[in-house]
Structures are given as structure tokens and as C-alpha cells.
């Protein structure tokens, strides 16, 4: 009973809720929802990893664990925003070949501004999205590096039925996080 009431108290904590209001705005943004839907339609028959809301949230949560474990000074809401939007333009890659990091780095900007992020924050998030497939990003100890690594760690390669056919360069050979 004590546990339950503490949980409720935590969920109702206005400080915690306030800190994620911009994320709520992203999740309810009509363009964001339309892009998630477009990705889903484009990947309907895809057998490999999908670029859906579950993946976005996995990346956000693994990235946040990384921040907690490393002590990197990265704002939680900025990390979540980058994770939620990093693959949002994947459907464009299927449509016309535009690399999805380019498409996502463009499509994220109005969504971030509508959510209330400053122009400096929008630029930082867009940069992290733009380099999230660039291996040179791996060793960075900033938002870019955290997003890059969380994205790769999020893929559950060891229990994936497509593991043997998949030639993804960042495939996880063993369980990591
Ligand atoms: Fe991606
Ligand atoms: Fe991703």
C-alpha cells in the first residue's frame, strides 16, 4: 500500500510532469503522428528492425540510462526529443532515397519549435539526428554520442529471427543493455 501511494505521488509530482511537457507536445503533434504512420505503412512488409514508436522510446530510455550511468550533463527532455524524432523521416528513404538522417533532421525542426524548444536546442537536436548513422559519432560524450549508441544498443539482435541474414554493421553480437 505504501509502495502504491508513493508511486501515485511520484506520477503526480508537478516537477516531473512539468519537465516532460515538451515531450507530451511532440507525442501529440499532428505531423509527428503522421510521420509515425507513414513509417508504419512503408515498413508494413519489412522483416528487419522497424522504425516505429517502440524503437523511439527504447532509444530514449537507453539514452537516459546512459546519462544516469555516465553522469553526462544532457537534459532529459532534449535527449527524449532527439530519440523520438531521430528516425521520423525514414519513410522518405523508402519513397525517394533521401537518407533518413537528413530527412529527420529537417522534419524535426517545426515539431521542436511547436513543442517550445529554443532555437539553440532545435539546432543541437537536429545535429544529433543528422549524425546518428555516422560511426565517427560513437565516441562523443555528448547528445550526439548518446543518441548514436542508444540507437544501436536498442536493437535486440541476439533474439532476432533475421539475425543471420542481417548484415547491419552495428549488429549486437551479444546482450549489452
Ligand atoms: Fe536511423
Ligand atoms: Fe533508430
Tens digit of pLDDT for each residue in 3-27?
555 555 555 555 555 679 999 999 9
Q: How far is the centre of ligand 2, averaged over its atoms, from the C-alpha of 10 (Å)? A: 30
Output DSSP code: residue 48. Answer: S
To 10 degrees, the CA torsion angle through 103, 107, 112, 113?
Answer: 130
Q: What's the pLDDT band for 103 if we cut at 50, 70, 90? A: very high
Q: Please check the confidence at residue 88 and state whether its pLDDT lies above 80.
A: yes
> How far is Cα 172 from Cα 99, in angstroms, rounded to an integer?
23
Counting ligands in written order, the one closest to the CA of 56 is: 2
Q: How far is the centre of ligand 2, averaged over its atoms, from the C-alpha of 14 (Å)?
A: 31
Distance 39 CA to ligand 2 centre (A): 12
5 alpha carbon – ligand 1 mean position (Å):
39
User: pLDDT by residue (tens digit) across 159-175?
Assistant: 778 877 877 777 776 76
Please tell me the distance between residue 3's alpha carbon and the centre of ligand 2 in angstroms.
35
pTM over 0.75: yes
Ligand 1 geometric centre to CA of 11 (Å): 31
73 alpha-carbon distance from chain centroid: 18
From first CA to last CA, the distance across the chain in angstroms is 31
pLDDT bucket at 1, cuts 50 / 70 / 90 = very low
35-39, 70-74, 110-114, 170-174: segment of lowest average pLDDT: 170-174
pLDDT of 9 reads 56
Quote the pLDDT of residue 18: 62
CA pair distance 100, 130, nearest whole angstrom: 9
pLDDT over 90 percentage in the chain: 73
Angle at 142 between CA 154 and CA 61, to 5 degrees: 30
The alpha carbon of 102 and the centre of ligand 2 are apart by a number of angstroms equal to 13
Residues with CB under 5 A from ligand 1 (ion): 87
Cell of residue 102, nine digits: 537528413
Question: pLDDT value at position 4?
Answer: 53
CA of 72 to the centre of ligand 1 (A): 22
User: What is the per-residue pLDDT for 2?
Assistant: 47
pLDDT band at 157 (very low <50, low <70, confident <90, very high): confident
Could you please state the CATH topology (level 3) that the domain comprising 20-159 is classified under.
Hypothetical protein af1432 (1.10.3210)
What is the CA(8)–ligand 1 centre distance, in A? 35
Amino acid at each position: 500500500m505504501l509502495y502504491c501511494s508513493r508511486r501515485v505521488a511520484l506520477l503526480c509530482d508537478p516537477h516531473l510532469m512539468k519537465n516532460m511537457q515538451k515531450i507530451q507536445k511532440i507525442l501529440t503533434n499532428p505531423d509527428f503522428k503522421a510521420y509515425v504512420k507513414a513509417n508504419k505503412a512503408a515498413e508494413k512488409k519489412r522483416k528487419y528492425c522497424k522504425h516505429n514508436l517502440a524503437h523511439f522510446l527504447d532509444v530514449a530510455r537507453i539514452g537516459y540510462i546512459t546519462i544516469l550511468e555516465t553522469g553526462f550533463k544532457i537534459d532529459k527532455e532534449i535527449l527524449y526529443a532527439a530519440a523520438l524524432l531521430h528516425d521520423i523521416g525514414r519513410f522518405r528513404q523508402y519513397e525517394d532515397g533521401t537518407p533518413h538522417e537528413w530527412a529527420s533532421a529537417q522534419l524535426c525542426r517545426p515539431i521542436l519549435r511547436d513543442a517550445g524548444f529554443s532555437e539553440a536546442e532545435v539546432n543541437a537536436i537536429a545535429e544529433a539526428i543528422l549524425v546518428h548513422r555516422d560511426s565517427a559519432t560513437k565516441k562523443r560524450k555528448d547528445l550526439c554520442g548518446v543518441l548514436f549508441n542508444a540507437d544501436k544498443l536498442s536493437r535486440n539482435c541476439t533474439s532476432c529471427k533475421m539475425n543471420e541474414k542481417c548484415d547491419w554493421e552495428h549488429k549486437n553480437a551479444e546482450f549489452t543493455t
